[in-house]
């Protein structure tokens, strides 16, 4: 190889013995490095190593590949709706494709264990509900995760009220009438949920407990089949989120009795909240189903910060926020600190509900 000469910007002449050395010199100059190139090949190799480690432009930054978003349910439920509503906005915000991966089954275990087994580099996240974060670890000592230890909280994203909903065959048009009917038919009344230990399960059990009545729990493998049996009259009662139930109430296929929210929803402004029913036991009671995003514990701090920022940005995009609003969701976008404060408080609340209601893993 013919020796080449290059001029240093500071005016010092160096003889570079290969085209590779010239390229390295140029890369380091563009990176703003202060250096001296030796004439010997061994010295040139040492400089090459320095360039790789100190020239920041050559180091890839997060994210470097698509983000996998794990959903612990099948298509159609609140978790899936949340994931697919935010998916396009999150992809725009983070600059990578976001791949939604449904992993239903085993009371969230399949999805959560998939998340915890993935490389802890921030490229795998999950959408979670109270079921995974504040219920299953209380019901099942062998669940396999600790919500306060095993996750990196990213954002409490959205919440939405549930609706006490009955099939038209149930002779009740108010919550008080429903309580009276269940009390008169203790062995007949049934309520559906998407599974044992879901947020719908505990919120329904808590409501019935406050009303002083009980009904038979019918657990399904997900919200969609449970809701299908409510529509067909196979079960009497369910508490779906408001966005799912509204079209069927409007069409007369179902009857909505009350909303669990703190205030009336714009989606169904005629529907009273628990507090507005006049039932004393519900005077200070409300509950919203919330959805958030987490990664496994131990991801780099820079990845956590990037994900939090991208999720917040996605929720604020007009297209995304309007899509959530149309489905009855309220944008919260609470960061990781307040998110975990809510999780801790709800763990204690659910612990009391489980103990008082005799709820156990099935």
- For tokens 């958030």, name the residue: 292
Same domain, 24 and 114: no
Same domain, 178 and 249: yes
If we measure between CA atoms, which residue out of 143, 73, 135, 149 comes closest to residue 113? 143
- Residue 267 forms part of a structural domain: yes
Same domain, 170 and 151: no
Contact (Cβ atoms closer than 8 angstroms) between residue 296 and residue 115:
yes
Q: Of 295 and 185, which is predicted with more confidence?
A: 295
What mean pLDDT is reported for the chain?
85
| CA dihedral of residues 78, 83, 85, 86 (deg, nearest 10) | 140
- Residue 38 forms part of a structural domain: yes
Same domain, 156 and 176: no
**Rounded Cα–Cα distance for residues 361 and 342 (Å):** 23
Number of structural domains found in the chain: 3
Same domain, 153 and 302: yes
- Residue 26 forms part of a structural domain: yes
Last residue of a domain, one of 282, 313, 330: 282
pLDDT by residue (tens digit) across 74-115? 898 899 999 999 999 999 999 999 999 999 988 899 999 999
If we measure between CA atoms, which residue out of 82, 124, 107, 72 comes closest to residue 291? 82
Residue 6 has what pLDDT?
Answer: 37
- For tokens 């944008």, name the residue: 331
- Residue 362 forms part of a structural domain: no
Same domain, 188 and 153: no
Domain that holds residue 37: 4-58
Going by pLDDT thresholds of 50, 70 and 90, the confidence category of residue 361 is low
If we measure between CA atoms, which residue out of 162, 182, 178, 175 comes closest to residue 246? 162
Same domain, 330 and 343: yes
pLDDT by residue (tens digit) across 28-58? 333 343 333 333 333 333 333 333 444 445 4
- Strand (E) or helix (H) holding 69: strand 67-71
Q: Indicate which CATH number applies to the domain containing 275.
A: 3.40.190.10
Same domain, 129 and 18: no
Q: Indicate which CATH number applies to the domain containing 334.
A: 3.40.190.150
pTM of the predicted model, to two decimals? 0.79
């Amino acid at each position: 190889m013919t020796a080449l000469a290059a001029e240093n910007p500071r005016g010092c002449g160096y003889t570079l013995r290969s085209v590779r050395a010239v390229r390295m010199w140029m890369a380091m100059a563009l990176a703003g490095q202060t250096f001296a190139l030796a004439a010997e090949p061994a010295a040139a190799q040492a400089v090459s190593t320095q360039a790789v480690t100190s020239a920041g432009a050559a180091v890839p930054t997060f994210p470097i590949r698509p983000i996998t978003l794990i959903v612990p349910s099948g298509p159609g439920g609140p978790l899936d709706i949340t994931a697919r509503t935010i998916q396009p906005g999150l992809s725009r915000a983070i600059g990578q494709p976001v791949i939604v991966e449904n992993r239903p089954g085993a009371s969230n275990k399949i999805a959560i264990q998939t998340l915890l087994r993935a490389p802890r580099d921030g490229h795998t996240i999950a959408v979670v509900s109270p079921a995974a974060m504040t219920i299953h670890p209380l019901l099942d000592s062998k669940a396999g995760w600790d919500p306060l230890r095993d996750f990196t909280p990213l954002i409490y994203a959205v919440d939405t009220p549930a609706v006490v909903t009955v099939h038209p065959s149930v002779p009740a048009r108010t919550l008080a009438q429903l309580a009276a009917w269940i009390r008169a038919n203790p062995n007949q009344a049934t309520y559906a949920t998407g599974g044992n230990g879901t947020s719908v399960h505990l919120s329904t059990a808590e409501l019935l407990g406050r009303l002083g009545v009980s009904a038979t729990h019918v657990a399904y493998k997900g919200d969609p089949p449970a809701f299908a049996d409510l529509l067909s009259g196979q079960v009497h009662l369910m508490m779906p989120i408001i966005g799912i139930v509204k079209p069927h109430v409007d069409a007369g296929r179902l009857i909505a009795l009350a909303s669990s929210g703190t205030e009336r929803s714009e989606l169904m402004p005629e529907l009273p909240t628990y507090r507005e029913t006049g039932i004393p036991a519900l005077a200070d009671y409300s509950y919203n189903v919330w959805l958030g995003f987490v990664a496994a514990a131990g991801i780099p701090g820079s990845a956590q910060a990037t994900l939090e920022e991208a999720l917040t940005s996605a929720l604020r995009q007009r297209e995304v926020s309007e899509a959530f609003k149309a489905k009855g969701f309220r944008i919260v976008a609470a960061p990781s600190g307040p998110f975990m404060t809510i999780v801790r408080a709800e763990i204690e609340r659910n612990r009391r509900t489980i103990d008082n209601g005799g709820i156990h893993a099935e």
